[in-house]
Structures are given as C-alpha cells and as structure tokens.
Amino acid sequence: MRVLVTGGAGYIGSHVCVELLNAGHEVIIFDSFINSDLGVPDRISSIVGKSPLTVKADLRDRAALDDCFSTHRPDAVIHFAALKSIGESVTNPLSYYDVNVVGTIDLLGCMKRYDCNLLVFSSSATVYGQPESCPIDEQAPVSATNPYGRTKLFVEQIINDAKVADPRLFAINLRYFNPVGAHQSGLIGESPSGTPNNLVPFVAQVAAGLRPRVSVFGDDYATPDGTGVRDYIHVSDLATAHVLALEQLPQLSDLQAMNLGTGRGHSVLEVIATFADISGRPIEYQIAQRRPGDVAECWADPMLALTRLGWRARFDLEQMCKDAWRWQLGSGNGEERT
C-alpha cells in the first residue's frame, strides 16, 4: 500500500514508518516538523535502507493537503499529527481544537475526495479518564478532564460517525497506553523539548546527569508501593500493531476502538529501579505531591488486539529502559555526572 503518515516524523510516527517500509509499503510523511527534527526521514532511511517521501506542510493547509493527495494518491492514512501537551491544551485550547479536531476533519474531507478509504487514528488511554477499575477494556466508560483528552474523544466520535455515513470507509481508533523506549538502532526516539512531562524521559535525563532527581508524584495511592501504576508499552511494539491494523482494516470495521497496551502495570518506583539497574547510574528521587489529574492506576486489557490482530507486546520494561537509555546516550545527552 501507499500510506500517508501524518506526523510521520514524530516519536511514534517515525517508528511506524520504519515498520511500514520494512513490511514493503510505500510511505509518504506529511509533517509540519513543529515537534520533530528535519533529519528524521534520513534516519528512517538509514535504518530501513529505503526512503520515505516527505511533504513538509501543516495539516490545516488545505491546499497543501489536497496537493499531497492529488500527487501521491495514497491508499491509506495513518494519522498521528497532533498537539499532545495536556498543560498547553489547558492554556491554549483553541490551537488544540484547531489542529487536532479541525485538522482531522480536513483530512477526512480530503480522503473522501480522493477515494482513500483506510484510516488508522492515534487515540489515547486518556479517553478512559478516571478508570473505574483495571484492567481497562474498550467497553469502559470514556470521559475527558482536559482539552487534549476532549480532542481525542471528539475525533474518535467524528471518525465513527464518518464510518456510519460512508460504508466504504474503514477506520480504527487505536488507544495507546504509555508509549516509551526507542528504536533499537538508537537512531530515532523521543526528544521532548524543555522539561519532560512524562516519567521515562525524565528518569533518563536524571540517569544522564542532566537533572538532579526525579520527583515521584505521590506515594499514597492505593497501589502496592503507593506510587502510580501505568501500562508502559515499547514504541516498536506499538508500531508493529499499526501495520497489522492497517493491513486488516476491512475485517475490523465492526470495532470502534482498540487498546494497545501490554496488560501489565508498573509503578513509578519500579520504573526508577529498573532504569537505575540497566543504566548502571544512581537515580535519586524525592517524594512529591500528587500531580493534579493523575490516576492511581491505568493498565490495559489487551485481549481485543490479541484476538483480532494476533498482536501482543513483545518487549518488557527492561527492554524499554535499555532502548530509552541507548537513545538518551546517542542523542548526545549522556554525560557523566559532575
């Protein structure tokens, strides 16, 4: 297939491009590079030995999007392009609705005009809000507590409505739990700008001596060690699932959404201990206040992906930390502590 990957230069998208090219598909990256590096397509080529085509443009630039469809005539779209900072979505909600929601509506319109009927969308476990219980399956109630989460909920609904209106459209909303790690080549990974919000990039920077210690947001949750529990999933496992979902989309048309997680939860302290172990560096931490909006635990029931895609996560927490650490060192940020 010829696959248009919006946001294909980003963290998850770049790993998916690698797996698409490895599986023999053609790839067109459509990305504004607002949150990614212009060198990423070349690094994808170095890993796979095949190059993606790249279009540098904003999703909201309707002429550029139309031109991309008319020039490349994609058979399918995997849609990653979005803004993803929860805090920023609270202070700047209109940009989030514009990029994430209006951008997707423009994309769906373009797909319809060019008779492109296969779509995989990046949703998030954030749509489960405060889960009533774990593991969380796809039937669990959904809700959102911030504009970013609402954009994911709205877009899921928009896509499901578009499917009802047009039976030729095959689409699925994939709900990621906590993507971490990096490609084993060390050539692509996550590059948070400024202070990382997420745990694993923060821990990696502490291990590298770039930050003094990790603040553990709360140790009084009702979890085995009192710290928050999450379902961390290796980004390369996520990538494999996208290729399988894309290739089987027509058979998944009855589904509205699918979880992508490992089905296992790990606490903050477990992540810190595992990272210290594999990096061989001490990782200092201090217990801090709970972070507003955080839930005690969030982990997936991954059975639907197993039964419908034949997919299950292969990599464990140790491998996720190893690959995150290799990426941290390779991206030039692994200096010894002074």
Contact assessment for residue 177 and residue 125, using Cβ atoms and an 8 Å cutoff: yes
Nearer to ligand UD1, 22 or 92 (CB): 92
User: Phi and psi (nearest 5°) for 318?
Assistant: -60, -45
Catalytic hit among 11, 148, 176, 221 = 148
What angle, rounded to 10 degrees, do the helices at 11-22 and 40-48 form?
Answer: 30
Contact assessment for residue 61 and residue 107, using Cβ atoms and an 8 Å cutoff: no
Is 176 labeled as catalytic in the residue annotation? no
Residue 7 interacts, among ligand NAD, ligand UD1, none and using kind-specific CB cut-offs from 5 to 8 Å, with ligand NAD
Task: Return d(Cα 65, Cα 106) in angstroms, integer.
Answer: 8
Residue 6's DSSP bridge partners are: 30, 79
Does 10 participate in binding ligand NAD (rule CB under 6 A)?
Answer: yes
Nearer to ligand UD1, 74 or 181 (CB): 181
Q: Report CA-CA distances (Å) from 241 to 41, 65, 176, 236.
A: 21, 26, 11, 9
Name the residue type at position 207: A
Tell me the per-residue interface mask from 22 to 41 with ligand NAD, x by CB under 6 A, - otherwise: ---------xxxxxx-----
Does 179 participate in binding ligand NAD (rule CB under 6 A)?
Answer: yes
Does 59 participate in binding ligand NAD (rule CB under 6 A)?
Answer: yes
Shortest reach from residue 122's CB to ligand NAD, in Å:
3
Q: Report CA-CA distances (Å) from 175 to 51, 128, 242, 302.
A: 28, 10, 11, 10
Burial of 178 (0-12, 13-18, 19+ CB in 10 A): buried
Tell me the per-residue interface mask from 197 to 216 with ligand UD1, x by CB under 6 A, - otherwise: xxx--x-----------xxx
Side-chain-side CA neighbours of residue 44 (13 Å): 29
Nearer to ligand UD1, 186 or 293 (CB): 293
Nearer to ligand UD1, 18 or 199 (CB): 199
**Quick one: DSSP state of residue 252?**
G
Tell me the per-residue interface mask from 77 to 116 with ligand NAD, x by CB under 6 A, - otherwise: ---xxxxx--------------x---x-------------
Shortest reach from residue 178's CB to ligand UD1, in Å:
5
Catalytic center residues: 148
What does the binding site for ligand NAD look like in residue numbers (CB under 6 A)?
Answer: 7, 9-13, 31-36, 58-60, 80-84, 99, 103, 122, 124, 176, 179
What does the binding site for ligand UD1 look like in residue numbers (CB under 6 A)?
Answer: 86, 124, 126, 178, 197-199, 202, 214-217, 228, 230, 268, 291, 293-294, 298
